[in-house]
Every structure is written in C-alpha cells, then in structure tokens.
A and B are shown apart, each in its own frame.
Chain A
Amino acid sequence: MKEKIINLPLTKKDVMGLHAGDVVLINGTIVTGRDKIHKFLFYERPSKKDIPFNLSGTVLYHCGPIVRKLDSSYKVIASGPTTSIRVETYEHRIISSYGIRGVMGKGGMCERTLEAMKKNGCVYFHTIGGAAAYLADRVKKVVDVWKLEEFGAPEAMWVMEVENFPAIVTMDAHGRSLHSDIAKISGSALKKLIWKTS
C-alpha cells in the first residue's frame, strides 16, 4: 500500500488531486470538533476573526479525545474518531464558511456534505474507529484549545499537530463516495437474504 503524504494546510488544487481510495498520511496542524462545535458554528456563525485560529486549508477532525492536563500543557492520551454522520446537518455550511479542506472522522457522510465537498474543494478522510492509542501516538503536540470550559473536554476544539496520521480518502471532491458504493453492495445482498425463504 503506497501512502500519499499530505502536508497541511491544503489548497484547492491539492484537494482535487485526491481520490476516493487514496491512502494518506497527514502532517501538520488539525482541529477537532464534534457535536457542540458544529451546532455552535452552524447557528452562531462566528466570523473568521472571532475564531482564535485559522481554519482555512485545515482538517476538521470529528474527535473527542482523552486529554491529560500537565503543568503548562496538555497531553493527548487517546484520540480516535467519532461517528461523522451526526453532524451531517451542519457540515456543508462549515465547509463553505470556514474554508476547511478536509473533514476527518469515521463512518462517512451523506449527500449534502458530498455536494459541499464538490462545490468547495474538500475531502473526507476516514480513519480507523477505536484505534485511539495508536492514533494518539501520532499527535505530537496540543497547540491550543477553544471552548474548553463552555463545552467540556470531549467537545472542545483542540488544535493539534499531527505526524503521519493515517487515513483513507473515502469521499472526494469529484463526487465519489466509497460509503455509498458499499451501502449499495450490502443493500443488494440484504434483499437476497430477506426475500430468500427460510
């Protein structure tokens, strides 16, 4: 398996060069965001200058990590992905408003997000659900955190530097989704199993 090396931030041109099925290793600064961050960005619509970091070209990782507070910093103990479909309602606007070039999580997303990815130049990186210790070892540093008090540790926006963070592109900016391919396969297998009399 030959991995493509991704260095953040990504440009639209970089994104167009990625295709569903590509295995990648991500390097650079990413941000986490899950249910509360998405709801907040969607309804409150903070302007880019109200967000303490630049989200343009970065990867928004659906993850609620376990983080330990050290004297003057934080250490990530476990940081696997959370299920992305829960933020399907919000993601399209987050992509178009904040210039995110990658959404990372598990389980994939649906039509509205795929459309927004195609329109704005963004991809979905699927990482391995539950592989939290393995993935935490690829987080080199916690750079910053936002909304920690208000949303709590799992739901805060953590800014992290990652090195060789492994993922597979499962939805690309060309409109292809491996998730809908697999769902079609299992859907037709299901039909056979259900209509087969026992």
Chain B
Amino acid sequence: MLKLRDGIVELYRKVATSLPPDVEDALKAARVSEKKGSNARHALEVILENIRIARETARPICQDTGVPVFYVKTPIGLSRIELEKTIIEATRIATEKVPLRPNAVDVITDKNTGDNTGIGFPIIYFRETPESTLSIDLMLKGSGCENVGQTYKLPKEELKADRDLDGVRKCVLDAIHRAQGRGCSPYTIGVGIGAAKDQVTRLAKEQLMRRLTDTNNIEVLFKLEKRLLKEINTLGIGPIGFGGKTTALGVKIGVNHRHPASYFVDISVCCWANRRGRLIW
C-alpha cells in the first residue's frame, strides 16, 4: 500500500499541474477561432500560457485545487477500507508536497483542517469490476464551476421544457446562460438524467471524466451532445465571460432509467481547467 500511496500522490501532482491533451487541444483550437485582438482571444492566450508555466514549473494550474473526487474501480477481493485509508493518507501528503490548497472546512467550527481531509472529504466512489487491475480516476473539481451547476425537475413551464430530451436541451441552455462566465468558461458540461436527485448529480459529474473526443454510444444522445455544444457556443458568453464564440468545449450526457413521476436533470459544469487523470495499478 505504501507504493500505491506514493502513486496516488503522483496522480495528484499530475492532475493538479497538467491538463489532459484533449482539453489542451480544444483550448488551442478555440484560441484560433476567436478574433485577433479580442478579449476572448487574450483570455485564451493567457490560459494556454498558464498551462505551459504550470506544467514546466510543476505548480498547480489553478489555486483552487477543488474538491478531489475519486472514482475507484476495484478487482474482486481488494479491501476498500485499506484503499480508503491509503487515499486519505496520500491526500495529506500531496497537500503538503505539490502543494495543494487546503480546502476542507469544518462546517461546525468553520476551521480549515489544513490537509484536504475531513468528513466526506475527499469524495471517494468505489465500484467493483471483474478486471484484475485496480483503476483510480481522480478529478480536481474547482468550486467556482461547482457553484454554477443546477438541478432541474421537468416539466418546467417557464422554459417550455417538457419531459423529453428537448426539455433537457432547454435546461442545459438555461443553466449555462445563468452561469455566464462565473465558472471560468469555456466549460465542459456533464448532464445526468434519471429518477432521483442524488443519482443524477453523481451521474452528471461522472460525465466530466469522459474525453472530449469520445462519442456517446447512444446515437440520440450523441446527436444531442453535438447540438447542445453548437447552440451553447451561440450564446455569446465566450471565454471567461468576455464574449466570443467559445463558451463550451464539450457536452457529455448520461442517462439512468427514471420513475414515471420523476424527471430529474442535473447539469455539472467544469471550468476550462478540466483536471482529471487515471492511475492503473
């Protein structure tokens, strides 16, 4: 477990200080699509320069190292208790070593624990798989973008949103309009649809782990993702909310079965610094 612990510390460092290539490529493509001399282009130039500096100096891309979220896939028979302990220990070490900003605040005393650990902090989800390898995915989800996420219950009359995928489309557009640039656009947007509130919020956030270049294997959702991306980019919010063509880099939708009486749609927004990575053990 000691070696695994050090592996998780390194995963933290990698995720905090560098962006996945698909995200950086999308930002580069966005830069050339914005008008020369515009605030939008200026913002993307600074963002790309920041990514370079962070990678070269091994410093966090953003000072908000967010809430760490782990998606752990375990082979049959591996102790989750031990794994959880190892992740928490690695979190303490990474906070000091990388360094990460300590973000875990006790709700009762309002004191920061100083090491990014606390009740339900970091967030760890386990899933058992028939594979023989252990796979640990980490997302560092900044709170500026977390705060602009929304949950909708359909139908929603003021959006003319019925209980169907076109209703979902309207919710996503509304959520991004409400967010403006406050969550650090251009965004990656995760959407979760299903029967219960807790389920859709988790599902929406999990979509953010998907590569921007992947394709949804459900044809209807694939088309909706493409359409939404195009439509969001006509809103004119632009990078950092300065106006422009690039408000989002990708939209990813996941579905669960719903209850006849419920139609929940959750929208999880991720800032341009979509920090995610995987450790295979």
Task: Please give the residue numbers on chain A whose beta carbons come within 8 Å of chain B beta carbons, in ascending order.
Answer: 1, 23, 36, 63-66, 68, 77-80, 82-83, 85-86, 106-108, 126, 128-137, 152-155, 166, 168, 178-179, 181-183, 185-187, 189-190, 193-195, 198
Structural contact, A107 and B243, CB atoms closer than 8 A: no
Tell me, yes or no, whether B170 is within 8 Å of chain A by CB.
yes
Add 12 more A-B contacts to A1-B42, A132-B54 (CB < 8 A): A1-B37, A106-B144, A107-B144, A107-B180, A107-B181, A107-B182, A128-B47, A129-B271, A133-B57, A152-B112, A185-B243, A194-B160
Beta-carbon nearest neighbor of B184 in chain A: A129
Bound form: Cα–Cα A178–B102 in Å: 33
Q: Tell which of B46, B49, B65, B183 has the most Cβ of chain A within 10 Å.
A: B46
Structural contact, B39 and A168, CB atoms closer than 8 A: yes
Structural contact, B112 and A134, CB atoms closer than 8 A: no
20 contacts between A and B (CB under 8 A): A66-B65, A83-B147, A106-B240, A128-B43, A130-B271, A132-B60, A132-B62, A134-B50, A136-B59, A153-B101, A154-B112, A155-B112, A168-B42, A168-B242, A182-B180, A186-B180, A189-B234, A190-B174, A194-B159, A194-B174
Chain B binding surface SS class: loop
The interface residues of chain A lying within 8 Å CB-to-CB of B182 are 83, 85, 106-108
Residue from A63, A82, A133, A182 in contact with B60 in the complex, judged by beta carbons closer than 8 Å: A133
Task: Please give the residue numbers on chain B whose beta carbons come within 8 Å of chain A beta carbons, in ascending order.
Answer: 37, 39, 42-43, 46-47, 49-50, 53-54, 57, 59-65, 99-103, 105, 110-112, 114, 142, 144, 147, 159-160, 166, 169-170, 173-174, 177, 180-184, 231, 234-238, 240-243, 271-273
Tell me the smallest distance from the CB of B208 to a CB of chain A, in Å. 15
The interface residues of chain B lying within 8 Å CB-to-CB of A83 are 144, 147, 182-183
